[in-house]
Chain A
Amino acid sequence: MQDIEVPDSPGESDQALIQRTAAGDREAFATLYRRHQGAVYRFARLMTGSAATAEDVVQEVFLALMKDAARYDAGRAALTTYLFGMARRVTRRRLLRERRFVEINVSDGALDRAPNASEALERSDTLQRLRDAILSLPSRYREVVVLCDLEGVTYETAAASIGCAIGTIRSRLHRARQLLATKLRRADGRCTGTRAVMRCAV
């Protein structure tokens, strides 16, 4: 399993960029932002089901990094660990504060469409059902699925970000996948076009 990808791969390590950020280098901070914001955004959006909340989370996480850069100790944790840990805390706080109701589409859209609907739409529906199933998981399972199965972080990084043992990550992931498989099977069996509003488990 690989750690998250570095899309711009400018060659300069996170540690070097953090040091320059701590010294007040604007460009170094901007490079860190561009390198990692996508992963933080996707994590927050899959955790909350809301693009607007995910934007707020990204902003809050990087403002925290800006303030913590001088105190950040690369020897203790990788930057991805810090960022996902911070994103997790901010996301949980937001969900608790807002007692968010996440709109979850539980319809099986295939029955609402013409039989010759395009493959792309079907695929889009399938992915939406997966997103909805992930959102309906309790947060302790949701976060490991998003981190390990979707963002591709290592079990070690996930454990450090969440603050638990690697064994806990493994067992939660196992349970989360079982729950997801069950939910997806149920969703496949549904034939109504109703939408349900469900409380996002925090």
Chain B
Amino acid sequence: MTNPDQNLSALFDALRHAESNDSAPPHVESAVMKAWDASHAPAVSSVRVTAASWVASLAAAAVLAIGLTVVGGRRHQP
């Protein structure tokens, strides 16, 4: 008569063997590595946006300063 523990142990061995090569399909690796690439991409676009914003602010400030100077100069003219 077979020992139930031995029988179970043999079944575990068989299942382990049957599934030893099972793994996640390739598309999972692609998704994981895509996430890696996205999280490690250099933040080029944000630097560009920041630089562009800075230049735009400077230009606006210059236009405003020149405008105020011109308007102020006219008001003081007799």
* A interface residues (Cβ-Cβ under 8 A, vs B): 24, 26, 29-30, 33-34, 37-38, 40-42, 45, 54-55, 58-59, 62-63, 66-67, 123, 126-127, 130-131, 149-150, 152, 177, 180-181, 184-185
Contact = CB atoms under 8 A, between A and B. Distances in A.
A41 B39 contact: no
Given A24-B40, A152-B16, A63 B32 contact: yes
B8 A181 contact: yes
Nearest to A34: B29
Contacts of A41: 22-24
A40 B32 CA distance: 14
A91 to B, nearest CB: 14
B18 interface: yes
B11 to A, nearest CB: 5
B36 A181 contact: no
B72 interface: no
Interface of B: 4-5, 7-8, 11-12, 14-16, 18-19, 21-25, 28-29, 31-33, 35-37, 39-40
Which secondary structure characterizes the binding site on chain B?
A: helix
A177 B33 contact: no
22 contacts: A26-B36, A29-B36, A30-B29, A33-B29, A34-B29, A37-B28, A37-B29, A38-B23, A38-B24, A41-B22, A42-B19, A42-B22, A58-B28, A63-B35, A126-B11, A127-B18, A130-B11, A130-B12, A150-B12, A181-B5, A184-B8, A184-B11
